[in-house]
């Protein structure tokens, strides 16, 4: 019982950490590709170090057998990070996070095409509810006089949905990966994400314009070590003994934390319609998990 409660605590802590990443990225004055690149390299080094300290080995044979799918999903994860981090800059952390949580709904829509699954009445209902939630948080229903702000918000929503689409693709691809533990899969995917982002960042980013302030370097380190290495290590230690349903429920701590902190720390007010949209999106995802 004590071990079970400890695992729950680690899972909750991991979700709380994941929920704060938007705040850090928002105040970090660095290109999104650089943040994603550093997150990948620092994160994979930390996770590999954890394996060494635990005396465990990476199952390279299993990874090699599934390399194609692992490579594609790893590349998707890297660009998924970039799109999400850009979304934080164009719209509020709360809206970007809620857009990102459309991933389960996108999985529902893609599953009949990719996996031949039947689109049940329950899944269709969840999809419609989530789409109504998207309309609420987009601000379209409210109109608004500031066209420039509205345009930036829509760009952020588009970037957030793009990140959700890539993450949904990763979820579907992971179902095709067989015989690889969750830890090994994540370790290899994050490593590939870093390797794929390296040439992309070198060709698209002008490093001469980046100001490497001590606080920026510190925040980069936090995103890499805490939000990637420590958070993933805690999560995988927890899910080893927790029921899938429990971890699915705890995953909603992440977006709720992000929305709460965006309001408290960044003074980003969702408004009444935005709150309704949040309830619709998270409620639809939760109902689908059930």
pLDDT at 144 over 90: no
pTM of the model: 0.89
State the Cα–Cα distance between residues 232 and 223, nearest whole angstrom. Answer: 12
Tell me the per-residue pLDDT of 16-43, one tens digit each, with 9 for 90 and over. Answer: 999 999 999 998 888 999 999 999 999 9
Cα-Cα-Cα-Cα torsion 127, 132, 134, 137, nearest 10 degrees, comes to -150
Q: Cα 204 to the chain's mean position, in Å?
A: 23
Mean residue pLDDT across the chain: 86
Q: Name the residue with higher pLDDT: 72 or 138.
A: 72
Q: Stretch 76-90: mean pLDDT, rounded?
A: 94
Which of 96-100, 186-190, 264-268 bottoms out in mean pLDDT, i.e. has the lowest? 264-268
Lowest mean pLDDT segment, chosen from 108-122, 138-152, 212-226: 138-152
The count of domains in the chain is 1
Least confident of 65-69, 93-97, 206-210: 206-210
Instruction: Tell me which residue range forms the domain holding 267.
Output: 2-289
Q: Which residues of 166-199 are buried (b: 16+ CB within 10 A; e: fewer)?
A: bbbbbebbbeebeebeebbbbbbbbbbbbbbbee
Least confident segment among 2-6, 67-71, 172-176: 2-6
- Lowest-confidence region among 84-98, 156-170, 182-196, 271-285: 271-285
Q: How far is CA 230 from CA 35, 50, 223, 226, in A?
A: 17, 9, 10, 5
Q: Which of 138-147, 176-185, 236-245 has the least mean pLDDT? A: 138-147
Give pLDDT, residue 158.
93
Radius of gyration of the chain (CA): 19
Q: What span, in angstroms and rounded, lies between the C-alpha atoms of 118 and 32? A: 38
What are the structure tokens assigned to 185, written together? 């899969």
Give 171's contacts (C-beta < 8 A, 6+ positions apart): 103, 104, 107
Angle at 147 between CA 105 and CA 133, to 5 degrees: 20
What is the per-residue pLDDT for 22?
92
What's the pLDDT at 145? 46
């Amino acid at each position: 019982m004590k071990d079970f409660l400890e695992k729950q605590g680690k899972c909750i802590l991991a979700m709380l950490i994941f929920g704060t990443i938007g705040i850090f990225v928002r105040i970090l004055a660095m290109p999104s590709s650089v943040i994603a690149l550093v997150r990948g390299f620092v994160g994979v080094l930390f996770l590999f170090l954890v394996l060494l300290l635990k005396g465990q080995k990476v199952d390279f044979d299993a990874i090699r057998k599934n390399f194609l799918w692992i490579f594609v999903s790893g590349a998707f994860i890297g660009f998924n990070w970039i799109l999400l981090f850009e979304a934080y800059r164009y719209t509020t952390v709360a809206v970007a996070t809620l857009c990102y949580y459309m991933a389960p709904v996108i999985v529902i829509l893609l599953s009949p095409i990719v996996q031949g699954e039947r689109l049940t009445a329950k899944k269709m209902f969840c999809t419609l509810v989530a789409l109504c939630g998207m309309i609420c948080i987009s601000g379209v229903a409210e109109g608004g006089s500031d066209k420039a702000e509205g345009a930036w918000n829509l760009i952020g929503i588009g970037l957030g949905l793009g990140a959700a689409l890539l993450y949904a693709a990763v979820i579907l691809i992971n179902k095709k990966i067989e015989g690889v533990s969750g830890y090994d899969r994540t370790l290899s995917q994050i490593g590939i994400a870093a390797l794929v982002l390296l040439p992309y960042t070198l060709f698209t980013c002008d490093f001469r314009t980046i100001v490497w302030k001590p606080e920026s370097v510190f925040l980069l380190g936090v995103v890499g070590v805490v939000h990637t290495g420590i958070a993933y290590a805690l999560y995988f230690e927890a899910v080893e003994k927790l029921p899938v349903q429990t971890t699915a429920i705890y995953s909603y701590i992440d977006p709720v934390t992000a929305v709460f902190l965006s309001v408290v720390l960044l003074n980003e007010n969702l408004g009444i319609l935005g709150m309704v949209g949040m309830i619709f999106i998270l409620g639809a995802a939760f109902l689908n998990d059930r």
